[in-house]
Amino acid sequence: MSETFTKAMARNIFYGGAVFFFLLFIALTFDTVQTLPKRDHRENITDSVVRGKHIWETRDCVGCHTILGEGAYFAPELGNVYKRRGGDFIKAWIKSQPTGAPGRRQMPQFNLTDEQLDDLVSFLKWTSEINTNNWPPNIEG
Amino acid sequence: MPPGDLAIWFFIFAELLAFGIFFVAYAFARAHNVELFNESQQHLNIASGAINTLVLITSSYFVVRAVAAIKQNFSRECARWIAAAIGMGGIFLAIKLFELYAKFSAGISLSTNTFYMFYLSLTIFHFMHVILGMVILTAVMLKARSGGYSAKLHTGVETGASYWHMVDMLWIILFPLVYVIH
Amino acid sequence: MEITHKPHFIRPCTLVWLTLMSLTVTTYAIGEANLGGWAIMLTVLGTAVIKVQMVSSYFMGLRRTRRLWRGIVLGWLLLVAGLITIAYLSTIK
Amino acid sequence: MQYKSQAVAKPYFIAAIGLFVGQILFGLIMGYQYVVGDFLFPAIPFNVARMVHTNLLIVWTLFAFMGAGYYLIPEEAETELFSPKLAIIMFWIFLVAGALTIVGYLAVPYATLARMTGNDILATMGREFLEQPLPTKVGIVIVALAFLFNISLTVLKGRKTSISLVLLLGLWGLAVFFLFSFYNPSNLVLDKYFWWWTVHLWVEGVWELILGAMLAFVLIKITGVDREVIEKWLYVIIAMTLITGIIGTGHHYFWIGAPEYWQWFGSVFSALEPIPFFMMTVFAFNMVNRRRREHPNKAATLWALGTGVMSFLGAGVWGFMHTLAPVNFYTHGTQITAAHGHMAFFGAYAMVNLTMISYAMPMLRGRSANSRSAQTLEMWSFWLMTVSMVFITLFLTAAGILQIWLQRMGSNPMSFMDTQDQVMLFYWLREIAGLVFFVGLVLYIWSFFYKKGEAHIAA
């Protein structure tokens, strides 16, 4: 590199560039937060959905499953599971775990009450209605 | 060596690359949605885009005169030319703000459609570069005014000038691409 | 004593400035007339390419430097303009 | 070692390596659960093993970062550490808190742990990588602040070099962006949007400043190249990192409910993210080629060069592969992501930590380098770990491509579990590569205790 390219110049580019792009990021975030209500249908977030998310978190579901593609890749995507399987199947499935089939992946038994199961289903139903730009590519997730 | 500090050229090339990708992305996004782009383009204010082009080209010319002045060791004259260029930058920003204000009050946002996403992203991204360019020019002007440059030592002036010309160059492509060609 | 006569690049730059201004007016006229089609598209894009090349050669002063630097800017310009052209022409049946 | 107080780095490095072993052991458990699903069930379900695997990774990286800070800051600032005692106290607090957290994960069901630790007061748990109970999260903040306080004051009273400034900036950023882990809105979209402010702005933002500073420090020491040159490169690299990486966050916003324009911003800027990693590789090789001294620690040099290459491959190439929105539409949430995650994290962060430890540990033990035979052993461990990580990545990539093909393409897609059965072969191969990796890690540790052969190289 040339001698005219000084450390001070490189430092200025670093500070200038970081501030510039962070401001741009904040501006885009501001726009996103303004736009989100049209995409996430937050008017449908009932108390049941809120409780359902809490159950989702406290059972560490994301440690095996993905939701909207984020999480572990050990078990199926659940962002669209409501559309794939429907609420009754989901509840019956959770209640019947673990399958105990030898050598197969096992899901723990979480001993959820009927009310908790309903909450979890309403959370998954609300999640399946988020506008995700048509992801996943098909119903299998 | 190109005029100015080599570091600014790394920066300039990075900027050209980023804008270049955005321009090409615009063109291919349009190819997928020609009707929408052509229809939305009708609502842009071509006059304000054109005036802004004239403004930026003129300010670039002023910067050229500033470089010429410092090469003759005329610090004050150099500072005055840069001040004029910054003034033109201010006019650009004002016109752009009017244009953007009109769009925002019409309820247009990044999510209106793909065309407006590109229109707003490209013009605002460029707008921020104009501001950054003005900041750099202001620093150069202040130093020139206090006699910090001379005919022998004027890399700083050329550095600021190169960045400003790049901002101009990008607008020269942006204007026809987004406002005119359909 | 410093040499204080005017640098030789001012006159060509003034001419370039005037040329750029008139080319911009041309582009504006085409836009206001709402003209379209591939010939117009190529004309307007070609005008932009020439303008950018003028700014980089004369205003930035790259024509007085090594070929490498001019080459990078020109290469970028032709690549971007070329891809834009391909994208536009691909929509014309 | 030029300053007495640098010695506090030693327990940090030892703890880091210890936790690294734990991470790999749990990785092997998970890898085996991928092929024999009911392995260790219900004692250690997969989600618990994964939590331990990823959290140990974060914690050992933090230990190594702090150790690096305590080691290099006094040397850069040319003064003793502000408070070595505080550093030792914080070490024990962090170690105990970390160990208790892991025990908590393993001993009680996660829901019980959540109830016991006040998750009902402020719910922050159960989100990927941020599974830690509230007290642990608060503990991380306290330890991080005490650490920052300690090294910031050290820098303030001593020489202020660019390396220490960049390191401080990175570490302060680490602490600041961690605060977003306390924000957990009930709206999943907002939750995910700001969750990335911790996760992405860490690993593709401020952590890269730490990485750059650590690498620059080691390169100055082992090559003897002029500080001005190295620090200039450092600034250029981290400038490109933030210029591309901040807006590059957008590549996580394609499919989580955020507006469509993120597909454009995210694709364009993250497509440029490999540039700083490429520059880092060029930088490392360039500096080693221009070296002005022959440092006896050849192993540390190898690790430094390896960091450049592997971070470019893992973060740069494997990241670019699936970062464009039209490609990511199919690869999002598949084994492709896992492949990228493994090689990027190992190549960038695990390796820079090992570089630092490899350089600093002999110094901390009163010699400038280990004996030649010990170094040969260490270089074997380098190649075993690096090559097996390449294979892990390749097998996961193959599994990912097949998974996408069967599950997401075509008119008659397979279900998730049926697809998993089809890619089983690659999971077996990955587990074997993982075992080789573990052998490499054991050799690495052994190289510290290896006594046979000629004497260690004096300081």
At D261-315, the pLDDT tens digits run 999 999 999 999 999 999 999 999 999 999 999 999 999 999 999 999 999 999 9
Cross-chain CB nearest to D272 (options B18, B111, B117): B18
Q: What is the rounded average pLDDT of the residues D331-340? A: 97
H-run or E-run covering D310: helix D298-311
User: Buried b vs exposed e over A75-96: b needs ≥16 C-beta within 10 Å?
Assistant: bbbbbbbbebbebeebbeebee
Chain A contact for B74 (CB, 8 A cutoff): no
Q: What superfamily in CATH does domain A42-141 come from?
A: Cytochrome c-like domain (1.10.760.10)
Q: In this structure, how many other beta carbons lie within 10 angstroms of the beta carbon of residue B122?
A: 20
Handedness of CA A97, A99, A100, A106 (dihedral sign): negative
CATH code 3.40.50.300 for D225-451+455-459? no
Map residue D27 onto helix, strand or coil: helix
At D80-127, the pLDDT tens digits run 999 999 999 999 999 999 999 999 999 999 999 999 999 999 999 999
Map residue B2 onto helix, strand or coil: coil
Which chains have 3+ CB pairs within 8 A of C? B
Using only C-alpha atoms, chain D has a radius of gyration, in whole angstroms, of 22
The burial of D18, by beta-carbon neighbours within 10 Å (0-12 exposed, 13-18 middle, 19 or more buried), is given as middle
CA distances for D170 relative to A13, B42, B50, D314, angstroms: 17, 47, 44, 21
CA distances for D139 relative to A22, C17, D61, D95, angstroms: 28, 63, 16, 11
pLDDT of A1 over the 50 cut: no
Residue D314 DSSP symbol: I
User: Residue A2 has what pLDDT?
Assistant: 43
The burial of D315, by beta-carbon neighbours within 10 Å (0-12 exposed, 13-18 middle, 19 or more buried), is given as buried
Closest listed residue to residue D169, CA positions, set D208, D196, D130, D200: D208
User: Residue D358 has what pLDDT?
Assistant: 97
- Please state the ipTM of this predicted complex: 0.89
Q: What is the rounded average pLDDT of the residues C44-73? A: 92
* Contact status, residue D63 vs residue D19, Cβ threshold 8 Å: yes
Give me the DSSP letters along C24-48.
Answer: HHHHHHHHHTT--SHHHHHHHHHHH
Tell me the C-alpha distance between B109 and D261, whole Å.
11
* Contact status, residue D213 vs residue D288, Cβ threshold 8 Å: no
At A54-68, the pLDDT tens digits run 999 999 999 999 999
Are D239 and A133 an interchain contact pair (Cβ–Cβ within 8 Å)? no
Closest listed residue to residue A97, CA positions, set D104, D413, D46, D54: D46
* Contact status, residue D81 vs residue D67, Cβ threshold 8 Å: no
Q: What is the pTM of this model?
A: 0.90
Q: What are the domain boundaries of chain A? A: 1-40, 42-141
pLDDT of D454 over the 70 cut: no
Nearest residue of chain D to residue A27 (CA atoms) = D247
At D193-217, the pLDDT tens digits run 999 999 999 999 999 999 999 999 9
Q: In this structure, how many other beta carbons lie within 10 angstroms of the beta carbon of residue A109?
A: 12
H-run or E-run covering A66: strand A66-67
Q: Where do runs of H (alpha helix) occur along chain A?
A: 7-40, 47-58, 81-85, 87-95, 114-128
pLDDT of C6 over the 80 cut: no
B128 Cα to chain A: minimum distance (Å): 8
Which chains have 3+ CB pairs within 8 A of A? B, D
User: Buried b vs exposed e over D111-124: b needs ≥16 C-beta within 10 Å?
Assistant: bebbeebebeeebb
* Contact status, residue D210 vs residue D174, Cβ threshold 8 Å: yes
Q: Domains of chain B (ranges plus CATH)?
A: 6-180 (1.20.120.80)
Q: Do chains C and B touch (3 or more CB pairs under 8 A)?
A: yes
Spatial CB neighbours of D211, under 8 Å, sequence gap ≥ 6: D170, D307, D311, D348, D349, D352
User: Residue B9 has what pLDDT?
Assistant: 87
Spatial CB neighbours of C47, under 8 Å, sequence gap ≥ 6: B176, C23, C26, C27
Nearest residue of chain B to residue A9 (CA atoms) = B7
Q: What is the mean pLDDT of each run of 10 residues along chain B (182 residues)?
A: 81 90 93 92 94 97 96 94 97 96 92 93 94 94 93 91 96 96 90
Q: What are the domain boundaries of chain C? A: 10-89
CA D381 to the chain's CA centroid: 18
Are C25 and B179 an interchain contact pair (Cβ–Cβ within 8 Å)? no
D114 neighbourhood in chain A, CB within 8 Å = 57-58
CA distances for A73 relative to A33, A69, D447, angstroms: 29, 9, 35
Q: What are the domain boundaries of chain D? A: 1-160, 225-451+455-459
Handedness of CA C14, C19, C22, C23 (dihedral sign): negative
Closest listed residue to residue D10, CA positions, set D382, D366, D446: D366
Cα-based torsion angle of the residue sequence D13, D305, D335, D32 in order, rounded to the nearest 10 degrees: -50
| Cis previous bond, D42, omega within 30 | yes
* Contact status, residue A70 vs residue D128, Cβ threshold 8 Å: yes
Q: Which pLDDT band holds residue A4 (cuts at 50, 70, 90)?
A: low
Closest listed residue to residue A70, CA positions, set A5, A138, A132, A28: A132
Tell me the C-alpha distance between D147 and D87, whole Å.
7
Are D259 and B18 an interchain contact pair (Cβ–Cβ within 8 Å)? no
Map residue A71 onto helix, strand or coil: strand
Q: What is the rounded average pLDDT of the residues D229-239? A: 94
User: Residue D342 has what pLDDT?
Assistant: 97
Chain B (147-176) residues lying within 8 Å, Cβ to Cβ, of chain A = 155
Spatial CB neighbours of D353, under 8 Å, sequence gap ≥ 6: D16, D60, D61, D64, D65, D68, D214
Residue at D128: amino acid letter = E
The burial of D186, by beta-carbon neighbours within 10 Å (0-12 exposed, 13-18 middle, 19 or more buried), is given as middle
* Contact status, residue A44 vs residue A126, Cβ threshold 8 Å: yes
Residue at C91: amino acid letter = T
Q: Which pLDDT band holds residue D163 (cuts at 50, 70, 90)?
A: very high
Q: What is the rounded average pLDDT of the residues D6-31? A: 98
D459 Cα to chain A: minimum distance (Å): 32
The C-alpha angle with vertex A66 and arms to A64 and A69, in degrees rounded to 5, equals 155
